[in-house]
Amino acid sequence: MLRIHFFVICVLLALAQITVMSAADLKDNPLAIESALAYHYPPFDKIKDEHFVPAIEAGMREQLTEIDPIANSSDKPTFDNTIVALERTGRLLDRAQRIFSNLNACDTNPTRQKIEKEMAPKLAAHRDQIFLNPKLFARVQELYGNRDKFAAANPSGGGLGLDPESAYLLDRYYKDFVRAGAKLSDPDKEKLKKINAELATLQAQFEQNVLKERNASSVIVDREEELAGLTKDQMAGVTAAAKAEHKEGKFVIQLQNTTGQPLLGSLQDRPLRERIMQASLSRNSKGGEFDTRDIVLRTAQLRAEKAKLLGYANWAAYQLEDQTAHDVPTVNKLLANLASPAVANAKREAADMQKIVDQEKGGFQIAACDWDFYSEKVRKAKYAFDESQLRPYYELNHVIIDGVFFAAGKLYGLTFKERHDLPVYQPDVRVFDVYDRDGKPLAIFIGDYYARPSKQGGAWMNAYVQQSDLFGTKPVVANHLNIPKPPPGEPTLLTQDEVRTAFHEFGHALHGMFSNVKYPRFSGTSVPRDFVEYPSQVNEMWARWPNVLKNYAKHYKTGEPMPQALLDKVEAAEKFNQGFKTTEYLSASLLDQAWHQLNPSEIPKDAVAFGADALHKAGVDFPPVPPRYRIFYFSHAFAHGYSAGYYSYIWSEVLDADTVEWIKEHGGLKRENGDRFRAMLLSRGGSADALGLFKNFVGRDPYIEPLLKRRGLDRAPGSDDSRVPAQPPAR
């Protein structure tokens, strides 16, 4: 007997109508269907800017159409008809949004920036339509309430007879809904929707202003003699930058997103160093169309109001609840206990530099613009080498192929084959097939290494396609760095930090490529923010591992390996300048927390004064070491997903340093260690409790001592190591 309810007929008619609309909107749109290329690799050569808005808007309509029968079903909610059904929705939207956001980050233009501003509030509203849907939440809530029933059917599944990954997915969905405001009253839901829409617009505007101001803040140099101290390669770089900015006959120093700037370590002319540092520090806070001070104040206000609306003391409390740190006091304690020894070390480092200034009768006190220049002099005096001696041995292709890929081969059995048949969005982008230890295809890896004006600052990994057994998809992941591109015909020689960054970002890529989960919600790097940096930081260890370093650190002209004497000096200087590095990082982390631990009535009128006062109260207001990011160009905190979360790097480093010690104790670069790390952690994505994955790997709770030793903070005179938490709290 066939019975069709009136409601079902209405839904089918609506589906048919929207399908016709979507088909019309998406005619000849390459985003409309999954790519036919390998691994659903994006057809970059066919994608045009005019394709994004129709695809994203059609994707939103399609997902709401998919959500509607789930929310309004008269059937009793089950895991399959509710949670798995939710996981299956939004494929078109995910594909279009993922490709757009990735391209907008690494190769933006005015059209894409306009699209970002236009779509940000619409996407926020779309998410609210799903997570604030009372009927949908009622079904999720009913399942969550029954999760402990029938536990005997499958004790490891936590109820409802679910396997562990499925049980964890139910838990995460329920929490996602609650944290999105599903339990709010209808009037409060309307308030939340308005806040979310405005925040989305502000975050897009902040990121665009940071990029535009950075590009507009280049330092122009008229006379070549002012550039004394620069190497031949560096001179070629500032000459090429002048040509790119149509300032032939002059020299242009382009700024990076961080406060510190690479050329400050080489330039002998102090007035020029002062100009560069001032240009960097004043970005986005000196008036004009790219000033972000009002954006910062309004964003902080709205985040505080949103947190209060959701029942939290402040934005940091809201954000941290869902992280492994779990609460504000824990993060405050970690940062505060590291700040004192870090600043003490930085002041000793400054004193060493001041001695050289005085010996040279410089007649000035060490300032932020001097740090890199004089720290190099100290390095030379103490260790008889400087960073410029290393660069000829760090040629980009050798670092990637013979370093990053070589280590992955030794540790995990991976092999890589570059391919040139797939389209790219920029000529410098490289594409590699990745083969697993059994020789079977595993993933596609995209390498985008060079800086350009259309690219956001920093370095990052993203996934164009996520691994998922539910959809049978394999990963397409990308690494993005910002290495200055040399003039044609010149080699790309990296700094020590750029080498470290290449290994770091590939650690994220491995997390994405090794993902072996059923549900896309848990794929790859879909883990807590204060855990996501942990695997990537572990991968940094292989940059300095003897047989890896020996394989890639070869002179770009002669092919000769880096001399053992130079290697020994590099090792001896490992803790050099750690006071500076730790202090500049902690200062930014403390600013992030200060802004996000305010309640709505505490938002200041003067953003500059508030930041200065926050650094003073935290005991890190040491002018020669400014924060790695001033708040006005701090995209992590005010544009990306690291608000109240910049502490994550040091938190993850606790786990990282401890894991590195474990790996060293168990034989180092061995397949057994790689296979264990892959099976017990990298492959699990976000499908289980993050700290539980760490504990399963090392067999115990984490210790902080390896981190203190690594950064040279364990020997800081007067530091109270006993006050530093021995481990992050279990959840």
Which of 2.30.110.10, 2.60.40.420, 3.40.50.12240, 1.10.1370.40 would CATH assign to domain 6-205?
1.10.1370.40
Q: How buried is residue 626: exposed, middle or buried, by Cβ count under 10 Å (0-12/13-18/19+)?
A: buried
Q: How buried is residue 438: exposed, middle or buried, by Cβ count under 10 Å (0-12/13-18/19+)?
A: exposed
For residue 721, what pLDDT band results from cuts at 50, 70 and 90? very low
User: Do residues 728 and 694 make contact, with C-beta atoms less than 8 angstroms apart?
Assistant: no
> Where does 146-185 have alpha helices with state H?
164-179
Q: How high is the pLDDT of residue 520?
A: 97
Tell me whether the CATH fold assigned to 6-205 matches the one assigned to 313-388+577-723. Answer: yes
Residue 12 pLDDT exceeds 70 = no
User: Do residues 623 and 368 make contact, with C-beta atoms less than 8 angstroms apart?
Assistant: yes
Q: Is 164 left (phi over 0), alpha (psi -120 to 50) or beta?
A: alpha
> Where does 72-185 have alpha helices with state H?
85-88, 91-106, 110-131, 134-145, 164-179
Q: Looking at the chain, how many residues does it have? A: 731
pTM: 0.88
Residue 72 pLDDT exceeds 80 = yes
pLDDT tens, residue by residue, 308-327: 999 999 999 999 999 999 99
Residue 435 pLDDT exceeds 80 = yes
- What tokens does 307 get? 């947190």
Residue 722 pLDDT exceeds 60 = no
Domain boundaries, the chain: 6-205, 217-281, 313-388+577-723, 391-572
Domain 391-572 in this protein, CATH class: mainly alpha
Q: How high is the pLDDT of residue 698?
A: 92
CA atoms of 235 and 233, how far apart (whole Å): 5
Residue 159 pLDDT exceeds 70 = no
Segment holding 396, helix H or strand E = helix 396-397
The bridge status of strand 476-483 relative to strand 441-450 is parallel
- What backbone torsions phi and psi does residue 680 show, to the nearest 5 degrees? -90, -15
If we measure between CA atoms, which residue out of 202, 31, 200 comes closest to residue 122? 200
Q: How high is the pLDDT of residue 641?
A: 83
Mean pLDDT, the chain, integer: 91
DSSP string, 489-553: TS--BPPHHHHHHHHHHHHHHHHHHT---SSGGG-TT-S-HHHHHHHHHHHGGGGS-HHHHHHH-
Residue 4 pLDDT exceeds 70 = no
DSSP state for residue 404 in the 8-state scheme: I
User: Do residues 687 and 727 make contact, with C-beta atoms less than 8 angstroms apart?
Assistant: no
Q: How far is CA 389 from the centre of its chain?
A: 30
> Rg (Cα) of the chain, in Å, rounded?
26
Q: How high is the pLDDT of residue 726?
A: 38
- Proportion of the chain above pLDDT 90, given as a percent: 85
Residue type, 310: L
Q: How high is the pLDDT of residue 10?
A: 43
pLDDT tens, residue by residue, 495-545: 999 999 999 999 999 999 999 999 999 999 999 999 999 999 999 999 999
Of 130 and 711, more confident: 130
Q: How high is the pLDDT of residue 149?
A: 67
Instruction: Match 């939207």 to its residue by tokens.
Output: 93
> Among all residues, which ones are annotated catalytic?
505
pLDDT tens, residue by residue, 532-586: 999 999 999 999 999 999 999 999 999 999 998 998 888 888 889 999 999 999 9
Residue 113 pLDDT exceeds 90 = yes
Other residues' Cβ atoms within 10 Å of the Cβ of residue 151: 16
Q: How high is the pLDDT of residue 714?
A: 59
User: Do residues 716 and 344 make contact, with C-beta atoms less than 8 angstroms apart?
Assistant: yes
- What tokens does 666 get? 């168990």
> What contacts 364, CB < 8 A, 6 or more positions away?
270, 357, 370
pLDDT tens, residue by residue, 657-716: 999 999 999 999 999 999 999 999 999 999 999 999 999 999 998 888 898 888 887 544
Of 728 and 147, more confident: 147
- What tokens does 581 get? 């590095």
CA atoms of 319 and 305, how far apart (whole Å): 13
| Domain boundaries 313-388+577-723, corresponding CATH code | 1.10.1370.10
Q: How high is the pLDDT of residue 621?
A: 96
Residue type, 460: W
CA atoms of 334 and 728, how far apart (whole Å): 9
For residue 413, what pLDDT band results from cuts at 50, 70 and 90? very high
DSSP state for residue 230 in the 8-state scheme: -
Q: How high is the pLDDT of residue 434?
A: 98
- Coil, helix or strand at residue 395: strand
CA atoms of 204 and 102, how far apart (whole Å): 14
